[in-house]
Amino acid sequence: MSGLLDLVGGTPLVSLRHSGVLAKLEYLNPGGSVKDRAALSMVLAAEESGALRPGGTIVEGTSGNTGLGLAQVAAARGYRMVCVLPDKTAVEKLDALRAYGAEVVLTPSALPKEHPNHVVAWAARIARETPGGWWADQYGNPANPAVHLRTTGPEIWEATEGRVTHFVATIGTGGTISGTGRFLKEASDGRVQVIGADPVTSSYNGGDGSPFAIEAAGHYVHPQTVDDPWPDSYHRDVVDSVVAVPDRASIEACRALARTEGLLVGGSSGTAFAVAREVTGDCVVVLLPDSGRAYLSKYHSDTWCRRQGFLDGELSAFVSPVVSVPVGTPVAEARRALESSGQPALPVVLAGRSDRFPPAAGEVLALATASDLASGTVGPASVPPVGLGVGESVADALERFPDGEVAHLVRDGRLAGLVTRGALRAGEQ
């Protein structure tokens, strides 16, 4: 009889009837994601090297899936587990971590890499300051890509009898695509094309690094980060191309897989599938990293999608171009911008972003009215403004309208206009 951890890996490859793509169902790992592989591999390597000793504490900074994999291993092998996570992590992941007995530490998601409370920095510090602590460091741990070279790649090669021509996966730490892709390239004498699927604003594909809605994929870059090298687990020489996918397309693909294929998967699976279904090849394999059960309150929730503007609704009629200013703008300059725009308020956004994308809703720090612009420079509000999603009805929006007479609209997670309470009331009539 096998133990639980013996069940990690060996996931099936199934044909998707509407696209002909073959999907590697990594959410069928016992912990619910592809990260079970890396978690077990990193722990076993640490035990072998002596870095992790009996009764020790595993510490990791994670968007959730690696933490869940490590928490599962910790519970099965008798370790304490501490996870540091961004405060926007899906609540299902947080609850699952606590169910495994892990200690959860939440930190703001939009911090520069050098900040002591950045997810990675905080996890490393906890490990250093904890007797018997070991930091898994999935972004730099060679056991991460190595397990995919050893298991995931060979499984795909064997299941397709060597016929695979294209492999598509998202890029998070880079371990999955790097290890799997390297094996497939070596086994096929370079014939297999390895394609990365990436949130459109992620820096992996040349985006500005601003926030995106998809968990467990992409690379966020805070504009105040001084030095932000890509993870050592990501081997860029393996990847032939990286395709940018808008968040809305990822979420639509994720929801479509549930409704047309019976596959309840997460947002990063949607990102990968959105790319894979457009690839022309004899045998296209896409890796679906995790389960949609971890995102029932997000991508599979109509309410969340409407409030984040990933579904269109009555408030779509209020979308309009909007002028914003970066935090720190001199008040006189901000006043002129507000007056010339004709807007009821001026969104104050995080400084340092390019003009390529509208400001992310989470980086709208204040809505400054004429009376707010008194002196000095423009700063964030003590209470961040509340955005209203374009998918909401007017009635629902009025119920949760923030204090004051102006709110900002959110479409696809980004600033899409301004609306007053009076305009909404007029629209309700």
The residues assigned a catalytic role are: 35
Q: Which residues pair with 349 in a beta bridge?
A: 326, 364
Sequence-ordered list of residues with C-beta below 8 angstroms from that of 235, at least 6 positions apart, any chain: 145, 174, 178, 181, 182
Residue 393 identity (one-letter amino acid): S
In whole angstroms, how far apart are CA 162 and each of 29, 165, 225, 421? 23, 9, 43, 61
User: In angstroms, rounded to a whole number, what is the distance separating the alpha carbons of residues 400 and 387?
Assistant: 10
What phi and psi values does residue 104 have, to the nearest 5 degrees? -105, 125
Q: How many CB atoms lie within 10 A of CB 354?
A: 11
User: In angstroms, rounded to a whole number, what is the distance separating the alpha carbons of residues 85 and 109?
Assistant: 8
Residue with tokens 């961040």: 384
Pairing verdict, β 406-411 and 414-420: antiparallel
Which structure tokens are listed for 265? 């998967």
Q: Contact, 107 vs 84, CB < 8 A? A: yes
Of 358, 378, 359, 362, residue with least CA distance to 370? 378
Sequence-ordered list of residues with C-beta below 8 angstroms from that of 253, at least 6 positions apart, any chain: 270, 271, 273, 274, 277
Of 319, 203, 214, 307, residue with least CA distance to 269? 214
